[in-house]
Homo-oligomer: A and B are copies of this chain.
Amino acid sequence: MNLLLLEDGDFVAADRVLLRGRRLKHLHEVHRAETGDSLRVGRLGGLMGRGQLLHLDGDTAELQVELDQSPPAKLPLTLLLALPRPKMLRRVLQTVSAMGVPRLVLLNSYRVEKSFWQTPFLEPLAIREQLILGLEQARDTMLPEVTIEKRFKPFVEDRLPALAAGSLGLVGHPGTYPPCPRAVEGPVTLAIGPEGGWIAYEVEKLQEAGLQPVQLGERILRVETAVSALLARLF
């Protein structure tokens, strides 16, 4: 964790927090923190700054905090992602959060196995946990907004056209398509398929909603790698 992320419930005064649990353990075991140490902190949904450890023992850590810096800018992006398998989902949520994606839509696709929708990692608290790990990694305080769309067709027909309006709409898809553009200006709506890719019908429907297929070369990348590679190329 490169940023100690504070939640509203941690605050016992305007500039004072008490920590227990995971973050306390991390302070002890990873930071090997001691009283007097100064750490990078941020308030979830708010500013970032420094925190000074006033007291630290096995039960609690108390910090005095000064929050005066804005979190880093988000990417101008809405990312649609075919629901990855559960283990990959957790890592992708961290990556998406760390890279500064503000809006993520987890979407069904023909090649998403039905069992993936049963995973406990889709529970709101489980999603939030992974997003927070990403924020702590990247030093950000603003949680991405994640929505879940279990039905491809009504989402893509009825809601995607409005969601993508005014943005550059792209579908990552292997094939004889133009290469993914670089260093674009302005907002983007990007759809990334499941392992095995979108089926032709889905690419057609995404095109009808205003998204154009682009490719990243011959190599088939894992979803997590494709996400970071496409974002690094686009922005």
A26 within 8 A of B: no
Q: Which residues of B contact A183 (CB under 8 A)?
A: 182
Q: Which residues of B contact A2 (CB under 8 A)?
A: 220
A141 within 8 A of B: no
Query: Which candidate, A16-24, A132-140, A203-211, is the interface stretch facing chain B?
Result: A132-140
A233 within 8 A of B: yes
Residue in B95, B139, B220, B222 whose CB lies within 8 Å of A225: B95
Q: Are B219 and A100 in touch, CB under 8 angstroms? A: yes
Cβ < 8 Å to B, chain A residues 202-228: 216-222, 224-225, 228
Q: Are B95 and A218 in touch, CB under 8 angstroms? A: no
A33 within 8 A of B: no
Known: A182-B183, A231-B229, A233-B233. A99 touches B219 (CB 8 A): yes
Shortest CB-to-CB span from A233 to chain B, Å, is 5
Q: Which residues of B contact A230 (CB under 8 A)?
A: 232
Q: Are A221 and B182 in touch, CB under 8 angstroms? A: no
Shortest CB-to-CB span from A28 to chain B, Å, is 17
Pull 17 A–B residue pairs with CB atoms less than 8 Å apart, ordered by A.
A72-B218, A98-B219, A98-B222, A98-B225, A99-B225, A137-B220, A137-B222, A138-B219, A138-B220, A138-B221, A139-B219, A182-B183, A216-B232, A225-B228, A228-B228, A232-B233, A233-B233
The interface of chain A, by Cβ under 8 A from chain B, is 2, 72, 94-95, 98-100, 137-140, 182-183, 216-222, 224-225, 228-233
